[in-house]
Amino acid sequence: MSVIRVGTSSWADQQLIASGWYPRSANTPAGRLAHYSGHFDLVEADTSYYAIPAVRTTQAWADRTPAGFTFDVKAYGLFTGHRVAARTLPADLRPTGGGELRWCDLDPEAHDELWARFRAALDPLAAAGKLGVVLLQFPPWLVRSDAARQRILDTARRCRQLAGGPARLAVELRHGSWFGQHTLETLRMLHEHDLSYVCVDMPQGHRASVPPVLVVTADPAVVRFHGHSGQWTGGDKQEKFRYAYGDRELADWAQRLRGLAADTTELHALFNTCCGDQAVRDATRLAARLDARPGTTARRPLRTVR
Protein backbone atom coordinates (compact mmCIF):
# COMPACT_ATOMS: atom_id res chain seq x y z
CA MET A 1 0.00 0.00 0.00
CA SER A 2 1.56 3.27 -1.14
CA VAL A 3 1.56 6.52 0.81
CA ILE A 4 0.83 9.74 -1.07
CA ARG A 5 1.66 12.97 0.72
CA VAL A 6 0.64 16.39 -0.60
CA GLY A 7 1.96 19.77 0.56
CA THR A 8 3.59 23.02 -0.46
CA SER A 9 7.10 24.36 -0.91
CA SER A 10 7.19 26.49 2.26
CA TRP A 11 4.66 27.34 4.92
CA ALA A 12 6.29 30.69 5.76
CA ASP A 13 6.42 32.44 2.38
CA GLN A 14 5.61 36.12 2.84
CA GLN A 15 3.06 36.01 0.02
CA LEU A 16 1.22 33.20 1.82
CA ILE A 17 1.31 35.00 5.16
CA ALA A 18 -0.06 38.18 3.57
CA SER A 19 -2.79 36.32 1.68
CA GLY A 20 -5.05 35.81 4.70
CA TRP A 21 -4.96 32.01 4.53
CA TYR A 22 -3.67 31.89 8.09
CA PRO A 23 -6.22 32.97 10.71
CA ARG A 24 -5.39 36.03 12.80
CA SER A 25 -4.72 33.80 15.78
CA ALA A 26 -1.86 32.13 13.86
CA ASN A 27 0.35 35.20 14.11
CA THR A 28 3.61 33.55 15.16
CA PRO A 29 5.90 31.05 13.38
CA ALA A 30 4.73 28.36 15.82
CA GLY A 31 1.09 29.20 15.24
CA ARG A 32 1.43 29.17 11.46
CA LEU A 33 3.21 25.81 11.45
CA ALA A 34 0.54 24.35 13.74
CA HIS A 35 -2.20 25.64 11.43
CA TYR A 36 -0.44 24.36 8.30
CA SER A 37 0.14 20.89 9.79
CA GLY A 38 -3.56 20.66 10.53
CA HIS A 39 -4.21 20.78 6.79
CA PHE A 40 -1.28 18.89 5.28
CA ASP A 41 1.13 16.15 6.37
CA LEU A 42 4.05 17.27 4.16
CA VAL A 43 5.97 20.49 3.63
CA GLU A 44 9.17 21.48 1.92
CA ALA A 45 11.43 23.56 4.16
CA ASP A 46 13.06 25.99 1.74
CA THR A 47 14.58 28.41 4.25
CA SER A 48 17.46 25.93 4.54
CA TYR A 49 18.35 26.74 0.91
CA TYR A 50 19.08 30.34 1.89
CA ALA A 51 20.85 29.65 5.21
CA ILE A 52 21.48 26.64 7.43
CA PRO A 53 18.85 26.76 10.19
CA ALA A 54 19.80 26.65 13.84
CA VAL A 55 19.26 23.37 15.67
CA ARG A 56 16.79 25.06 18.02
CA THR A 57 14.74 26.04 14.95
CA THR A 58 14.48 22.53 13.51
CA GLN A 59 13.85 21.14 16.99
CA ALA A 60 10.90 23.52 17.21
CA TRP A 61 9.65 22.27 13.83
CA ALA A 62 9.74 18.71 15.14
CA ASP A 63 8.06 19.65 18.43
CA ARG A 64 5.24 21.70 16.89
CA THR A 65 3.99 19.20 14.32
CA PRO A 66 1.96 16.05 14.86
CA ALA A 67 3.21 12.50 14.55
CA GLY A 68 3.41 11.44 10.93
CA PHE A 69 4.22 14.91 9.62
CA THR A 70 7.10 15.03 7.12
CA PHE A 71 9.62 17.73 6.20
CA ASP A 72 11.46 17.62 2.90
CA VAL A 73 14.49 19.85 3.46
CA LYS A 74 16.15 21.77 0.65
CA ALA A 75 19.95 21.70 0.90
CA TYR A 76 21.85 24.95 1.42
CA GLY A 77 22.38 26.56 -1.98
CA LEU A 78 26.15 26.71 -1.62
CA PHE A 79 26.28 22.89 -1.52
CA THR A 80 24.62 22.57 -4.91
CA GLY A 81 26.62 25.14 -6.83
CA HIS A 82 24.63 28.32 -6.26
CA ARG A 83 26.12 31.63 -5.27
CA VAL A 84 25.06 32.80 -1.83
CA ALA A 85 25.32 36.07 0.04
CA ALA A 86 28.21 36.00 2.50
CA ARG A 87 25.85 37.16 5.26
CA THR A 88 23.98 33.82 5.05
CA LEU A 89 27.00 31.94 6.39
CA PRO A 90 27.37 31.47 10.14
CA ALA A 91 29.17 34.53 11.50
CA ASP A 92 32.29 32.61 12.49
CA LEU A 93 32.70 31.19 8.98
CA ARG A 94 32.18 34.34 6.94
CA PRO A 95 35.20 35.52 4.96
CA THR A 96 35.96 39.20 5.04
CA GLY A 97 34.64 41.41 2.29
CA GLY A 98 31.02 40.28 2.08
CA GLY A 99 29.31 40.07 -1.29
CA GLU A 100 28.46 36.79 -2.99
CA LEU A 101 30.34 33.56 -2.50
CA ARG A 102 30.87 30.35 -4.41
CA TRP A 103 31.83 26.99 -2.93
CA CYS A 104 35.38 27.41 -4.23
CA ASP A 105 35.76 30.67 -2.27
CA LEU A 106 35.86 28.73 1.02
CA ASP A 107 38.61 26.51 2.36
CA PRO A 108 38.11 22.76 3.03
CA GLU A 109 37.79 23.32 6.78
CA ALA A 110 34.84 25.66 6.21
CA HIS A 111 33.30 23.08 3.85
CA ASP A 112 33.50 20.41 6.55
CA GLU A 113 32.02 22.70 9.18
CA LEU A 114 29.11 23.77 6.99
CA TRP A 115 28.19 20.17 6.23
CA ALA A 116 28.48 19.30 9.92
CA ARG A 117 26.12 22.12 10.88
CA PHE A 118 23.67 21.07 8.19
CA ARG A 119 23.68 17.57 9.62
CA ALA A 120 23.11 18.95 13.11
CA ALA A 121 20.11 20.89 11.78
CA LEU A 122 18.63 17.70 10.32
CA ASP A 123 19.13 15.63 13.47
CA PRO A 124 15.99 16.76 15.38
CA LEU A 125 13.78 15.97 12.39
CA ALA A 126 15.43 12.60 11.84
CA ALA A 127 15.17 11.72 15.54
CA ALA A 128 11.45 12.52 15.48
CA GLY A 129 10.89 10.41 12.35
CA LYS A 130 9.84 13.53 10.44
CA LEU A 131 12.68 13.87 7.91
CA GLY A 132 11.57 13.03 4.39
CA VAL A 133 14.16 13.79 1.71
CA VAL A 134 17.04 16.19 1.49
CA LEU A 135 16.42 18.00 -1.79
CA LEU A 136 19.55 18.66 -3.84
CA GLN A 137 18.35 21.29 -6.31
CA PHE A 138 21.08 21.97 -8.83
CA PRO A 139 21.23 25.28 -10.72
CA PRO A 140 19.79 25.76 -14.21
CA TRP A 141 23.28 26.38 -15.58
CA LEU A 142 24.47 22.89 -14.62
CA VAL A 143 24.68 21.48 -18.14
CA ARG A 144 25.05 17.75 -18.65
CA SER A 145 28.72 16.69 -18.76
CA ASP A 146 31.00 14.17 -17.12
CA ALA A 147 32.17 16.84 -14.68
CA ALA A 148 28.59 17.81 -13.83
CA ARG A 149 27.65 14.18 -13.29
CA GLN A 150 30.56 13.75 -10.92
CA ARG A 151 29.60 16.92 -9.09
CA ILE A 152 26.11 15.57 -8.45
CA LEU A 153 27.43 12.24 -7.18
CA ASP A 154 30.11 13.90 -5.02
CA THR A 155 27.51 16.20 -3.45
CA ALA A 156 25.21 13.26 -2.75
CA ARG A 157 28.05 11.24 -1.24
CA ARG A 158 29.11 14.12 0.99
CA CYS A 159 25.54 14.71 2.09
CA ARG A 160 25.14 11.06 3.01
CA GLN A 161 28.42 10.96 4.89
CA LEU A 162 27.75 14.02 6.99
CA ALA A 163 23.96 14.18 7.08
CA GLY A 164 23.29 11.09 9.13
CA GLY A 165 23.77 8.37 6.54
CA PRO A 166 20.18 7.11 6.19
CA ALA A 167 18.77 10.44 4.99
CA ARG A 168 16.97 10.00 1.70
CA LEU A 169 18.25 12.22 -1.11
CA ALA A 170 16.34 13.66 -4.06
CA VAL A 171 17.93 15.36 -7.07
CA GLU A 172 16.30 18.12 -9.11
CA LEU A 173 17.97 18.89 -12.44
CA ARG A 174 17.09 22.17 -14.10
CA HIS A 175 18.69 22.07 -17.53
CA GLY A 176 17.17 20.37 -20.54
CA SER A 177 20.48 18.80 -21.61
CA TRP A 178 19.94 16.00 -19.07
CA PHE A 179 16.83 14.86 -20.93
CA GLY A 180 15.76 14.17 -24.49
CA GLN A 181 18.13 11.58 -25.91
CA HIS A 182 19.94 11.43 -22.55
CA THR A 183 16.87 10.81 -20.35
CA LEU A 184 17.50 7.10 -19.80
CA GLU A 185 21.16 7.68 -19.03
CA THR A 186 20.26 10.38 -16.49
CA LEU A 187 17.64 8.25 -14.79
CA ARG A 188 19.93 5.24 -14.74
CA MET A 189 22.61 7.28 -12.97
CA LEU A 190 20.15 8.32 -10.26
CA HIS A 191 18.77 4.80 -9.88
CA GLU A 192 22.21 3.23 -9.57
CA HIS A 193 23.11 5.64 -6.76
CA ASP A 194 19.76 5.35 -4.93
CA LEU A 195 18.80 8.97 -5.60
CA SER A 196 15.18 10.02 -6.03
CA TYR A 197 14.54 11.78 -9.31
CA VAL A 198 12.47 14.94 -8.84
CA CYS A 199 9.83 15.23 -11.54
CA VAL A 200 9.00 18.86 -12.24
CA ASP A 201 5.92 20.29 -13.91
CA MET A 202 7.03 23.62 -15.36
CA PRO A 203 6.72 25.85 -18.44
CA GLN A 204 8.12 24.23 -21.56
CA GLY A 205 9.94 25.72 -24.54
CA HIS A 206 12.74 27.44 -22.61
CA ARG A 207 16.40 26.49 -22.72
CA ALA A 208 16.31 25.33 -19.11
CA SER A 209 12.93 23.58 -19.39
CA VAL A 210 12.82 19.95 -18.31
CA PRO A 211 10.00 17.61 -19.33
CA PRO A 212 7.64 16.14 -16.70
CA VAL A 213 9.07 12.62 -16.86
CA LEU A 214 7.15 10.45 -14.39
CA VAL A 215 9.44 7.69 -13.19
CA VAL A 216 10.71 6.28 -9.90
CA THR A 217 14.47 5.93 -9.43
CA ALA A 218 14.40 5.54 -5.62
CA ASP A 219 11.97 5.85 -2.72
CA PRO A 220 10.26 8.18 -2.21
CA ALA A 221 9.17 9.57 -5.56
CA VAL A 222 9.02 13.38 -5.60
CA VAL A 223 6.96 15.65 -7.87
CA ARG A 224 7.20 19.45 -7.67
CA PHE A 225 4.65 21.70 -9.35
CA HIS A 226 5.94 25.06 -10.61
CA GLY A 227 2.93 25.95 -12.78
CA HIS A 228 2.96 27.35 -16.31
CA SER A 229 3.26 31.09 -16.01
CA GLY A 230 3.91 33.03 -19.20
CA GLN A 231 6.37 35.18 -17.21
CA TRP A 232 8.71 32.30 -16.37
CA THR A 233 11.81 33.99 -17.81
CA GLY A 234 10.91 37.67 -17.61
CA GLY A 235 8.89 38.19 -14.44
CA ASP A 236 9.73 38.62 -10.79
CA LYS A 237 9.25 35.73 -8.35
CA GLN A 238 5.55 36.40 -7.93
CA GLU A 239 4.92 36.63 -11.68
CA LYS A 240 7.11 33.60 -12.39
CA PHE A 241 4.99 31.37 -10.18
CA ARG A 242 1.61 33.03 -10.71
CA TYR A 243 -0.42 30.08 -11.88
CA ALA A 244 -3.61 28.34 -10.83
CA TYR A 245 -3.99 24.69 -11.80
CA GLY A 246 -7.35 24.02 -13.45
CA ASP A 247 -9.72 21.24 -12.43
CA ARG A 248 -8.95 19.24 -15.56
CA GLU A 249 -5.20 19.55 -14.97
CA LEU A 250 -5.53 18.37 -11.38
CA ALA A 251 -7.76 15.48 -12.39
CA ASP A 252 -5.13 14.42 -14.94
CA TRP A 253 -2.32 14.77 -12.40
CA ALA A 254 -4.25 12.80 -9.78
CA GLN A 255 -4.54 9.91 -12.21
CA ARG A 256 -0.86 10.13 -13.16
CA LEU A 257 0.24 10.31 -9.52
CA ARG A 258 -1.76 7.21 -8.65
CA GLY A 259 0.06 5.40 -11.42
CA LEU A 260 3.43 6.66 -10.25
CA ALA A 261 2.64 5.73 -6.64
CA ALA A 262 2.12 2.14 -7.76
CA ASP A 263 5.89 1.92 -8.34
CA THR A 264 7.03 3.29 -4.98
CA THR A 265 6.28 2.99 -1.30
CA GLU A 266 5.83 6.75 -0.86
CA LEU A 267 5.14 9.72 -3.13
CA HIS A 268 5.61 13.40 -2.27
CA ALA A 269 3.68 16.01 -4.29
CA LEU A 270 4.63 19.64 -3.60
CA PHE A 271 3.23 22.85 -5.02
CA ASN A 272 5.65 25.72 -5.59
CA THR A 273 3.08 28.13 -7.05
CA CYS A 274 4.01 30.59 -4.31
CA CYS A 275 1.85 33.55 -5.32
CA GLY A 276 -0.47 34.46 -2.48
CA ASP A 277 -2.24 31.34 -1.21
CA GLN A 278 -2.35 29.61 -4.61
CA ALA A 279 -0.06 26.76 -3.56
CA VAL A 280 -2.20 25.77 -0.57
CA ARG A 281 -5.37 26.03 -2.66
CA ASP A 282 -3.95 23.84 -5.42
CA ALA A 283 -2.55 21.35 -2.88
CA THR A 284 -5.91 21.15 -1.11
CA ARG A 285 -7.74 20.46 -4.37
CA LEU A 286 -5.24 17.79 -5.46
CA ALA A 287 -5.37 16.15 -2.03
CA ALA A 288 -9.16 15.97 -2.28
CA ARG A 289 -8.89 14.22 -5.64
CA LEU A 290 -6.45 11.75 -4.09
CA ASP A 291 -8.74 11.23 -1.08
CA ALA A 292 -6.07 12.72 1.15
CA ARG A 293 -8.03 14.18 4.04
CA PRO A 294 -6.51 17.31 5.65
CA GLY A 295 -4.14 16.46 8.45
CA THR A 296 -3.87 12.79 7.51
CA THR A 297 -1.62 10.65 5.37
CA ALA A 298 -3.16 9.70 2.05
CA ARG A 299 -3.09 5.94 1.89
CA ARG A 300 -4.50 4.39 -1.23
CA PRO A 301 -4.80 0.67 -1.96
CA LEU A 302 -2.79 0.75 -5.17
CA ARG A 303 -0.71 -2.27 -6.03
CA THR A 304 1.75 -3.79 -3.62
CA VAL A 305 5.34 -2.76 -4.32
CA ARG A 306 7.71 -5.70 -4.29
Q: Would residue 109 count as lying in a domain?
A: yes
Give the other-Cβ count within 10 Å of 147's Cβ. 9
Lowest mean pLDDT among 63-77, 158-172, 222-236: 222-236
Alpha carbons 91 and 245: distance in angstroms, whole number: 42
Q: So what's the pLDDT on residue 292?
A: 58
Q: Would residue 305 count as lying in a domain?
A: no
Per-residue pLDDT of 183-235, as tens digits, reads 999 999 999 999 999 999 988 877 778 888 999 999 999 999 987 755 656 66
* pLDDT (average), residues 238-255: 84
Name the percent of the chain lying above pLDDT 90. 70
Q: So what's the pLDDT on residue 203?
A: 82
For residue 27, give the CATH number of its domain. Answer: 3.20.20.410
* pLDDT (average), residues 240-265: 90
* pLDDT (average), residues 63-85: 95
Query: Is the pLDDT at 73 greater than 80, yes or no?
Result: yes
Please report, for the chain, how many H helices and E strands are present, in that order: 10, 11
* Of 254 and 305, more confident: 254
Query: Is the pLDDT at 301 greater than 50, yes or no?
Result: no
* pLDDT (average), residues 173-189: 95
Q: 70 has which bridge partners? A: 42
- Residue 138 and residue 174 in contact, taking contact as beta carbons nearer than 8 Å: yes
Q: Would residue 73 count as lying in a domain?
A: yes
DSSP reduced 3-state for 144: coil
Q: Would residue 306 count as lying in a domain?
A: no
Give the other-Cβ count within 10 Å of 20's Cβ. 10
Q: 136 has which bridge partners? A: 171
* pLDDT (average), residues 297-301: 39
Query: Is the pLDDT at 182 greater than 90, yes or no?
Result: yes
- For residue 147, which phi and psi values (nearest 5 degrees)? -65, -40
Alpha carbons 199 and 59: distance in angstroms, whole number: 29
Q: Would residue 118 count as lying in a domain?
A: yes
Query: Is the pLDDT at 177 greater than 60, yes or no?
Result: yes
Q: So what's the pLDDT on residue 226?
A: 87
Q: So what's the pLDDT on residue 238?
A: 66
Phi-psi region of 227 (alpha: psi -120 to 50; beta: other; left: phi over 0): left
Per-residue pLDDT of 85-100, as tens digits, reads 999 998 888 887 778 8
Q: Would residue 134 count as lying in a domain?
A: yes
Q: So what's the pLDDT on residue 204?
A: 85
Q: Using alpha carbons only, how large is the chain's radius of gyration in Å?
A: 19
Domain containing 78 equals: 2-300
* pLDDT (average), residues 125-129: 94
- Indicate the pairing of strand 298-300 with strand 2-8: antiparallel
Query: Is the pLDDT at 166 greater than 80, yes or no?
Result: no
Sign of CA dihedral 157, 162, 165, 166: negative
- Residue 43 and residue 104 in contact, taking contact as beta carbons nearer than 8 Å: no
DSSP reduced 3-state for 185: helix
Q: Would residue 49 count as lying in a domain?
A: yes
The whole-model pTM stands at 0.90
H-assigned helices in 46-175: 47-50, 55-63, 108-127, 146-162
Number of structural domains found in the chain: 1
Alpha carbons 103 and 81: distance in angstroms, whole number: 7
Q: So what's the pLDDT on residue 105?
A: 84
* pLDDT (average), residues 125-142: 95
Query: Is the pLDDT at 244 greater than 90, yes or no?
Result: no
Contacts of 131 (CB under 8 A, 6+ apart): 70, 71, 73, 122, 125, 167, 168
Q: Would residue 100 count as lying in a domain?
A: yes
Contacts of 12 (CB under 8 A, 6+ apart): 29, 32, 33, 47
